[in-house]
Chain A
Amino acid sequence: MESRFRSLFLTSLILLSATLLHMQVSHAADPVELKNGQIIQPELKRRKITLADIDTEDYEIGIYAGALSIEDFGVNAVYGAKIAYHVTENIFAEFTLGQSTASKTSFELLSGGLQLLTDDERDFTYYNISVGYNLLAGESFFGSRAYNSDLYIIGGIGSTNFADNDNFTWNIGVGFRFVPKDWFAIHIDVRDHMFKSELLGSSKLTHNLELTTGITFFF
């Protein structure tokens, strides 16, 4: 009865103030250690906290923007979104969706009014599924404060839709993850999106280099 009353009392305290509760519980629940090492456990009914209550933060979600050099079609603004799952401390899998619009080739610019692609066909959209490896985990110093950071390599496969065609696309790259908070990171990424294209006559492997910066959140 007494312990029931006590937990009722505690529950009302929780409702009053979460911070107050924290102080109450953590002080009241601390075992008192005597000089001879004996521990007295206070007679308090503990709420059971299990492993399932531990918050896991293995997912990372975010957005990015930057510049994409579309081979033969100039350097263009690119933006996108990504979600990553961290499988181990080193390995993560990432799904990315990105979008850009190709500008004119130098031929189109010089020839006056001639157009190789319609406006719709200039849309450059891609997705890829990649695996990354955190190569250099360490600390970066900003002034006198140390922040966690990672240098990672990444590569994968996906598809690029450009000039109304789907193209099987390989990507490789390297990235830097700056982690000022456990739940927040800033990324700088360099990526090469490679696919075969027959757009300008002969078939060739095009390299589309991308430099982006982005923010992500862990959850």
Chain B
Amino acid sequence: MSKLDVNGRVHEVDADPATPLLYVLREQLGLNAAKFGCGLGQCGACVVIADGEAVYSCLTPISVLEGRKVRTLEGLGSAEKPGPLQRAFIEAQAAQCGYCIPGIMMRAQALLERNPNASEADIRAALQPHLCRCGTHVRILRAVARAGELMRGKS
């Protein structure tokens, strides 16, 4: 049994310690947001936050996550009570198919927590490891910038 702290709750997980976090999040914990995209750390669809850092959940075995705080998109709010970043993405309608969006949002969340005044250039640089095939990039950049404003207390 491994202990995993996800979105503030500690879970006892019955899985091989070498199992990448992604599969445990999706299968054992029933969380949808982190997505399988490439299994290679090339696309960013699986990105979640561990102790404030964006990590590829498709490559990170659960054994290295004991004692670290994992956060997923589900931890930022819900459809009924969306958090600032989620509100900003809805406001900007920053999705088409949306498959890449949860990973991008978690990378953005980690950035904005570190630097709520992140400039557009900062946001672009942070999101460079992420692919979006629908071409929603411009809306994503707008949404992340807007989320920074919301987090800084601008309505």
Verify that A and B bind, or say they do not: no
